[in-house]
C-alpha cells in the first residue's frame, strides 16, 4: 500500500488529502497537524473576533470526524521536526514531547505561512497581537472578552488590516489604522485606495498613511505606537498586520529548493526538486498566468487548488496547476473592493503597453430602488487589445464579486476587449442591466483606444 504523508492541515493539506482519497481508495494517508484545528477557515477569523460569527466550530470546512471517515489519519498537535528525503522519513514530536518516525512513499509539504514580524521594538509586549492561525484568533477574542479594551491600533492597511479594523469597530471600539504607504490596500490603484479610506473614516476609523512604525511602548495600562517624524498614537491593544512569509524551514533543511521570494520552488504538477516530494499552499511560489513567471501570492483560493493538484499527482494522477491571476475581494464595512489580473503599473513592468480607464456605472437599473454606483478601473493592452485586468470598488451587495469573477474567467481564456460585449450575461432590473457595467467599461475602453489610435495616425 502506498503511503502518503502530508505536513500541514489547512487549506492545501486537507484538499490534497481528500483528492488523493478520491483518486486512490486504498492509499494510506496521514496528515500531520501542528495544532488542533485541521481544515478550519482562517479567512473567517476576523468575523469570529468581531462576534459576527459566534461559534468558532462553524469555521470548519469539515469536522475531524468527517475527515477520519474518509480514511484519513489525522495526527493533531504533532510538529514535524525533521525530514530525511533520502530515506523518506519524517520525524515528528507530539504534545508530550514524544518523537515518532513516519515513513512515506510520497510527501506533500503544506506548511503554509507565518505572520511577518516587522522590526518594531516592543512587538512582543502584552496587548500586541499577530493574526494567522486559530490559536491567534482565540487569544485575541479572549483578550477582547475579558479585558474589554475600548481602543485598538491596527498596523498595516492590507486585507487583514482592513477586515480587523472593521471587526474592532463592530465591537464598538475606537480604531486607528497606520499604513506606511500612500494609501491603504496598495493592491488597488491609489484612487480606489482613497475611496476605501473615505469609508473607513466615515465609520469612525482614524487612518494614518505614509507613516512607518518604529516602536511600541508600554504607557501605564495603554500602548503607545511610535512612528517616523514624531508620530505617536495610544490604544489599549495593537494588532500587527504586516503580511505573511512562507514557512519553509523544514523544506530547506531537506534540500528542497527555495526561490527568490523565499517560497518553495515547484513545477506545474506541484513537484519540488526532491523526488516524491510535492508542495502546495502558502509555502510555495505561484505561477502567475499573465506575468508568465512564479511569484509569491498567498491566497486561500490558490491553496485549495494547488493542494488538489498535489494530492491527485501524489496518488498517481497527472494534473497541472494552471496558475493564478491574483483574483481577490474584501469587504470593509459597507464597501467591497476587488481586483483580478494586472493593474497599469504591473502591466507596464511586464512589458505590455497598457491603457487603463476609469469608469463609473450603476450596479443595476437606476430606476429600481437601491441602485449603487461602481467605481471601475479596467486595463487592456494597446497592441493586442487583450483584456489585462480590472479593479472594482462599490457598496456591499452590489454583485462585485460576480463581476470580477467574469473578468477573471475572460482573462483566463485570453479574451479581447471587444469580445466582452458578446458575453450573454444575466439581466433583471433589481440585479443588473441589459448592458452590464463591466461590458460598458470595456466598450468605453474600445472607444478611447480608437480615438487615441486615430489621433496618433494624424
Which DSSP string do the residues of 84-136 spell out, in sequence order? ETTTTEEEEE-TTS-EEEEE-SEEEE---EEE---S-BTTTSTTEE--SSHHH
According to DSSP, the β-strands at 106-109 and 237-240 are unpaired
Q: Alpha helices of 24-79 — where are they, by DSSP H?
A: 45-50, 64-69
Distance (Å, whole) CA 293 – CA 305: 18
Q: How many CA atoms lie within 13 A of 90 on its CB side?
A: 26
Radius of gyration of the chain (CA): 24
Phi, psi values for residue 426, rounded to 5°? -70, 150
Quick count: other Cβ atoms within 10 Å of Cβ 226?
Answer: 16
Q: Which among 381, 378, 389, 386 has a CA at the least distance from the CA of 351? A: 381
Q: Which of 22, 23, 28, 43 is catalytic?
A: 43
Residues contacting residue 213 through CB under 8 Å, at least 6 positions apart: 118, 120, 155, 178, 180, 225, 226, 227
Residue 337 region, left (φ>0) first, then alpha (ψ -120 to 50), else beta? beta
Distance (Å, whole) CA 123 – CA 129: 8
Question: Cell numbers at residue 22, please?
Answer: 478520491
Residues contacting residue 340 through CB under 8 Å, at least 6 positions apart: 325, 326, 327, 328, 389, 390, 404, 405, 407, 408, 411
Q: Is 43 a catalytic residue?
A: yes
CA 343 from centroid of its chain's CA atoms: 17
Distance (Å, whole) CA 375 – CA 358: 7
Active-site annotation, residues: 43
Amino acid at each position: 500500500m502506498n503511503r502518503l504523508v502530508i505536513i500541514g492541515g489547512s487549506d492545501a493539506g486537507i484538499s490534497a488529502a481528500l483528492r488523493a482519497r478520491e483518486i486512490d481508495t486504498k492509499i494510506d494517508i496521514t496528515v500531520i497537524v501542528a495544532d488542533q484545528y485541521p481544515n478550519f477557515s482562517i479567512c473567517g477569523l476576523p468575523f469570529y473576533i468581531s462576534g459576527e460569527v459566534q461559534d468558532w466550530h462553524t469555521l470548519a470546512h469539515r469536522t475531524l470526524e468527517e475527515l477520519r471517515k474518509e480514511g484519513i489519519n489525522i495526527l493533531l498537535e504533532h510538529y514535524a521536526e525533521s525530514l530525511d528525503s533520502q530515506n523518506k522519513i519524517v520525524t515528528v514530536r507530539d504534545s508530550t514531547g514524544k518523537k515518532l518516525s513516519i515513513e512515506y512513499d510520497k510527501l506533500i509539504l503544506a506548511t503554509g505561512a507565518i505572520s511577518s514580524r516587522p522590526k518594531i521594538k516592543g512587538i512582543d509586549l502584552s496587548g500586541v497581537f499577530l493574526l494567522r492561525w486559530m490559536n491567534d484568533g482565540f487569544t485575541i477574542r479572549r483578550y477582547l472578552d475579558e479585558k474589554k479594551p475600548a481602543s485598538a491600533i491596527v498596523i498595516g492597511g492590507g486585507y487583514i488590516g482592513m477586515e480587523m479594523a472593521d471587526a474592532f469597530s463592530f465591537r464598538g471600539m475606537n480604531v486607528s489604522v497606520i499604513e506606511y504607504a500612500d494609501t491603504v490596500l496598495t493592491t488597488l490603484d491609489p484612487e480606489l485606495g482613497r475611496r476605501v479610506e473615505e469609508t473607513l473614516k466615515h465609520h469612525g476609523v482614524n487612518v494614518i498613511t505614509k507613516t512607518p512604525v518604529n516602536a511600541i511602548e508600554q504607557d501605564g495600562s495603554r500602548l503607545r505606537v511610535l512612528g517616523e517624524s514624531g508620530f505617536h498614537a495610544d490604544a489599549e491593544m495593537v494588532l500587527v498586520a504586516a503580511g505573511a512569509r512562507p514557512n519553509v524551514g523544514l523544506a530547506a533543511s531537506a534540500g528542497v529548493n527555495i526561490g527568490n521570494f523565499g517560497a518553495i520552488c515547484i513545477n506545474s504538477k506541484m513537484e519540488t526538486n526532491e523526488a516524491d516530494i510535492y508542495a502546495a499552499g502558502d509555502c510555495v511560489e505561484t505561477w502567475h498566468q499573465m506575468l508568465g513567471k512564479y511569484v509569491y501570492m498567498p491566497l486561500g483560493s490558490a491553496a485549495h487548488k494547488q493542494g488538489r493538484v498535489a494530492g491527485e499527482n501524489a496518488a498517481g494522477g497527472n494534473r497541472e496547476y494552471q496558475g493564478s491571476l491574483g483574483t481577490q475581494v474584501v469587504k470593509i464595512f459597507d464597501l467591497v473592493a476587488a481586483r483580478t489580473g494586472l493593474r497599469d503599473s504591473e502591466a507596464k513592468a511586464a512589458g505590455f503597453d497598457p491603457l487603463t480607464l476609469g469608469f463609473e456605472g450603476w450596479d443595476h437599473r437606476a430606476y429600481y430602488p437601491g441602485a449603487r454606483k461602481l467605481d471601475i478601473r479596467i486595463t487592456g493592452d494597446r497592441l493586442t487589445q487583450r483584456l489585462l485586468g480590472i479593479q472594482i470598488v462599490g457598496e456591499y451587495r452590489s454583485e462585485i464579486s460576480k463581476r470580477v469573477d467574469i473578468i477573471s474567467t475572460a482573462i483566463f481564456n485570453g479574451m479581447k476587449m471587444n469580445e466582452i460585449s458578446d458575453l450573454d450575461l444575466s439581466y433583471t432590473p433589481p440585479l443588473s442591466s441589459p448592458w452590464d457595467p463591466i461590458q460598458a467599461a470595456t466598450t468605453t475602453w474600445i472607444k478611447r483606444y480608437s480615438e487615441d489610435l486615430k489621433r496618433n495616425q494624424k
